[in-house]
Amino acid sequence: MKSSTRATGARNAVLAAALALTGLAVQPATAEERAKDLFGAEKLPTATAAQSFGFYSKGCFSGGVAIPMDGPTWQVMRPSRNRRWGHPAMIATIERLSRDAVADGWPGLLIGDIAQPRGGPMLTGHASHQIGLDADIWLTPMPDRTMTRTQRENMSATLMVDDKTHLVKDALWTPAHTALLRRAASYPQVERILVNPGIKKKLCDTVKGDRSWLHKIRPFWGHDYHFHMRIGCQPGSPNCKAQEATPADDGCGKPLAWWFTQEPWRPNKNPDAPKARDVMTMANLPRECRAVLDAPGPATAEAATYNGGAVPVAAAAPEPQTPSEPATAASGTADLPAAMNAFTATPQVGVPVPRPRPRLGN
Ligand SMILES: [Zn+2]
């Protein structure tokens, strides 16, 4: 990365001073070390074994795969963000949800942000989504046409919750929305699903019969256009830090009532305080994240795109024989790294294969 401007340095100094006032220790940071700049610039994943390092809001991951822009039962939204990357288990979970949801009567998934190719803090938005185990799914049903790239960038999601009452808009909520969340919560690997408190309340008030899945549905600010699906740390990731288990009860009692008091909605007392992603340096992330940044990538995004079948099994990458430049999408001549085997499809097991990526306008 090019050396930074004096202005950026000054801004960092201001941020550091602001943090010092709060009593938080802060690493002296140059712009070069700011983790979100480094991870935000990565265009491709590592061509190494899939592994999550650190915590959902403080970490990175290797061996990412992309969900194709289009599948039989999904479309990726906001493609310019390049956040359709995740741990292979996350991508497989989304693909599975898309099929099951369609069988349940939902028209298909509109997929929002998953993670950057190598995770890490993002240039904009999201405190979490850093280790490849978080995904945002829109609460807007998929249109019955393949959208153009422009449409995917610009189409608005549907706001499901009234800003003032924090209650779900009854005209918009359907049993299919409930079924979609129930399906997502049914997977053992899904540990929690974040929704707006109004959506949690709607489920608490209307779900009959088996309510055991409601404990995974957690109220949180935002999440009124989409829900956030989080899976647990996966095998092969000894340095992935698990989150606290959700309480076993349905969460419809006192904790939910708190969301319908004034308390959670008071204006932020310190709106100008820097966000974690703006001050996080490489020193704040697990040590392995430096190696994740330095690891070679596949030749192209397509080579690391999920292509149906079972979960792509990432193989450990061999030690490079010679110092090798990380491949880029532009390097058409380089041999595929040996670790490309990581992304070849395992035999078909009756899973529909996504259509090839269409050439989109714009
Ligand atoms: Zn999210």
In a domain, 25, yes or no: no
Ligand 1 centre to CA of 349 (Å) is 30
Decide if 37 contacts 11 (C-beta within 8 A): no
pLDDT value at position 336?
A: 26
Ligand 1 centre to CA of 306 (Å) is 21
In a domain, 163, yes or no: yes
Q: What is the pLDDT of residues 147-195, one digit of tens each?
A: 999 999 999 999 999 999 999 999 999 999 999 999 999 999 999 999 9
Ligand 1 centre to CA of 223 (Å) is 8
Please give the full DSSP string across 158-219, using - where no structure is assigned.
PP-B-TTT--B-TTT--HHHHHHHHHHHHSTTEEEEEE-HHHHHHHHHH--S--GGGGGEEE
Ligand 1 centre to CA of 128 (Å) is 7
Range with the poorest average pLDDT among 125-129, 215-219, 264-268, 326-330: 326-330
* Residue 156, domain CATH: 3.30.1380.10
Ligand 1 centre to CA of 281 (Å) is 22
In a domain, 221, yes or no: yes
In a domain, 36, yes or no: no
Which residue range(s) make up the domain with 239?
48-262
Burial of 278 (0-12, 13-18, 19+ CB in 10 A): middle
Range with the poorest average pLDDT among 93-102, 161-170, 183-192, 260-269: 260-269
Range with the poorest average pLDDT among 142-151, 292-301, 328-337: 328-337
Ligand 1 centre to CA of 76 (Å) is 15
In a domain, 12, yes or no: no
Ligand 1 centre to CA of 228 (Å) is 5
Strand-pairing partners, residue 59, are 54
pLDDT value at position 308?
A: 63
Q: What is the pLDDT of residues 31-79, one digit of tens each?
A: 457 999 999 999 999 999 999 999 999 999 999 999 999 999 999 999 9
Neighbours of 194 (CB within 10 A): 22
Query: What's the total number of domains in the chain?
Result: 1
CA distance linking residue 36 with residue 50, whole number of Å: 21
In a domain, 196, yes or no: yes
In a domain, 349, yes or no: no
In a domain, 271, yes or no: no
